[in-house]
């Protein structure tokens, strides 16, 4: 089923690119990914180039808690459409997938007590499905496996930290936005290039929690980027995904042996 959907996406993307008046959201073709255990994720897929002979980077985009559900649309509300602008697809063409987390679930699996986060042993069901989704896309699309990037906002920022900690060998770079993680996992992800973003006045995810991850990564030998936008609350993703410097940095990253 997924292979047929992707073939349709390839054709649909070519047709849609010829209609500049269409909303950017229409560039993301819908499909449903079915996991090994019978569970599934609604997904949106952007393929900016139908030339299957050319390898493209893969961007995994994890939305926030407010976009959970089953409509397979809400995950396009914030952030991800920055990868579908004419300018971005010209400068940094990439395969972009935006799965939708089911209601009541989360991308990460951790215990949170106050502002202390402790990662649990197993990934969340949705997080495990994301990793299966990546494997499936690699098999069916011209993915450059040295350029797989993961990013997410709010709940997706937590998910980004969580999945990089569990599977650091899979990712060339990570861009967690207004999220946090377990500082004890910093050594596991220290070799993955990362740029951390938060808002100085975020009332939902304390910037102190986010900054704690930056400090832990530095202590583990990493050299992550860190941006804390002044006078910005929880919507720091509006700034992050429109920051050309951050996006250019992301697409320059390539996986090295680690």
**CATH number reported for the structural domain that contains residue 63 in this entry:** 3.40.50.1820
CB neighbour list of residue 252: distance below 8 Å, 6 or more residues apart: none
pLDDT in tens, 176-201: 999 999 999 999 999 999 999 999 99
Q: Which residues pair with 173 in a beta bridge?
A: 149
Looking at residue 26, its pLDDT comes to 78
Q: Over the chain, what is the mean pLDDT?
A: 89
**Residue 257 is assigned to a structural domain of this protein:** no
Write down the pLDDT at residue 256. Answer: 76
Nearest alpha carbon to residue 176 among 129, 237, 124: 237
Give the gyration radius of the chain's Cα atoms: 17
Q: What is the pTM of this model?
A: 0.89
- Residue 258 has a pLDDT of 53
Answer yes or no: is 258 within a domain: no
The answer to whether position 46 is within a domain reads: yes
Q: What is the mean pLDDT of residues 144-169?
A: 97
On whether residue 60 sits in a domain, the answer given is yes
Residue 25 confidence (pLDDT): 60
Asked whether the CA dihedral 105, 205, 134, 241 is positive or negative, the reply is positive
pLDDT of residue 79: 93
Domain that holds residue 167: 2-252
User: Is 7 a member of any domain?
Assistant: yes
Could you tell me the sign of the dihedral formed by the alpha carbons of 222, 225, 230, 235, in that order?
Answer: negative
- Structurally, the chain folds into a number of domains equal to 1
Domain membership of residue 228 (yes or no) is yes
36 is written with which tokens?
């090994």
Is residue 79, in this structure, part of any structural domain at all? Answer: yes
Per-residue pLDDT tens digits for 41-97: 999 999 987 676 789 999 999 999 999 999 999 999 999 999 999 999 999 999 999
Give the Cα separation of 248 and 245 in Å (integer): 5
Q: State how far the Cα of 81 lies from the Cα of 199, in Å rounded to an integer.
A: 21
Please report, to the nearest 10 degrees, the dihedral formed by the alpha carbons of residues 164, 108, 211, 190 taken in order.
Answer: -20
pLDDT class of 5 with cuts at 50, 70, 90 = very low
Buried b (16+ CB within 10 A) or exposed e, 173-210: bbbbbbbbbbbebbbbbbbbbbbbbbbeebeebebebb
- Give 11 or 117, the one with higher predicted confidence: 117
> Does residue 216 fall inside a structural domain?
yes
* The predicted structure's pLDDT at residue 37: 86
């Amino acid at each position: 089923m997924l292979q047929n959907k992707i073939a349709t996406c390839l054709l649909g993307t070519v047709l849609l690119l010829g209609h500049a008046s269409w909303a950017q959201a229409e560039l993301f073709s819908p499909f449903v990914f079915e996991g090994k255990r019978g569970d599934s994720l609604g997904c949106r897929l952007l393929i900016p180039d139908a030339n299957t002979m050319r390898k493209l980077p893969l961007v995994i985009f994890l939305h926030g808690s407010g976009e959970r559900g089953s409509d397979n649309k809400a995950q396009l509300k914030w952030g991800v459409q920055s990868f579908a602008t004419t300018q971005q697809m010209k400068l940094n063409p990439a395969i972009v997938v935006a799965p939708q987390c089911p209601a009541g679930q989360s991308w990460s699996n951790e215990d949170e007590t106050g502002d202390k986060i402790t990662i649990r042993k197993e990934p969340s069901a949705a997080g495990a499905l994301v990793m299966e989704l990546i494997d499936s896309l690699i098999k069916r699309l011209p993915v450059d496996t040295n350029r797989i990037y993961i990013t997410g906002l709010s709940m997706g920022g937590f998910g980004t930290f969580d999945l990089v900690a569990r599977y650091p060998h899979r990712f060339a770079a990570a861009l967690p936005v207004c999220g946090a993680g377990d500082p004890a996992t910093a050594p596991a992800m220290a070799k993955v290039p990362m740029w951390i973003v938060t808002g100085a006045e975020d009332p939902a995810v304390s910037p102190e929690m986010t900054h704690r991850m930056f400090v832990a990564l530095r202590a583990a030998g990493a050299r992550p980027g860190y941006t804390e936008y002044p006078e910005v609350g929880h919507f720091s993703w509006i700034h992050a995904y429109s920051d050309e410097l951050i996006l250019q940095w992301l697409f320059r990253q390539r996986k090295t042996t680690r």
